[in-house]
Chain A
């Protein structure tokens, strides 16, 4: 079974804090993705990565950065959290056959 894990299920941070969200997959997948999910807006792609140290901007990269130092780990960084970044964050990974597998999500609240 494919397993994608995320470091926290729930996170509460203050405006201006630096926030790290971590995602780990155990299936040796090349591709990893970060999405945010908001009511009425569906899933929106923030960043994705095809390989170690590779990253590509998605549709809404502003205010976020990512890091992929190891194949199994993809981190999302909020340099200075703002209230409009309160959301559900979903990580996904996929093999070359393009099917995406999601983690359980991190619900982030920025106060």
Chain B
């Protein structure tokens, strides 16, 4: 199955800094999702994007559906310690309702 390229693999940042991560695909997608996973827990949906160029916010999180439909971006502003976790992107062409997942970005926030 297809895997998405997600970068960076890991980030170590100071509390208060902004964070950016991205996800790219070799295929065109119609839906992009961003999830956060805490250790030992299931992924929790953060933001869903359904249209090319769409920019959607959820509190301090902002995600964008790339215009080429082959990429997506997630930004976290003014990071706090509870932002620690693994962030996953997921994309779907809606064919068969299957999603393909990135390998995750591990975020560590240093107080």
Contact = CB atoms under 8 A, between A and B. Distances in A.
B101 A42 contact: yes
Nearest to B48: A99
Interface string A2-44: 0010000100000000000000000000010000000011111
Nearest to B2: A59
A45 B3 contact: no
Interface in B74-109: 88, 90, 92, 94, 96-99, 101-104
Interface on chain B toward A: helix, strand, loop, or mixed SS?
Answer: mixed
Interface residues of B, number: 24
B45 A42 contact: no
B111 interface: no
B3 to A, nearest CB: 6
Contacts of A4: 42
B103 A42 contact: yes
A59 B45 contact: no
Given A41-B103, A102-B35, A56 B96 contact: yes
A100 B97 CA distance: 10
Interface of A: 4, 9, 31, 40-45, 48, 50, 56, 58-59, 90, 94, 98-105, 107
Given A43-B88, A48-B97, A100-B45, 5 more contacts: A31-B97, A42-B104, A45-B99, A50-B97, A58-B98
Interface of B: 1, 3, 31, 33, 35, 40-45, 48, 88, 90, 92, 94, 96-99, 101-104
19 contacts: A4-B42, A9-B40, A41-B103, A42-B103, A42-B104, A43-B88, A43-B101, A45-B98, A45-B99, A48-B97, A99-B48, A100-B33, A100-B99, A101-B45, A102-B44, A103-B42, A104-B41, A105-B40, A107-B40
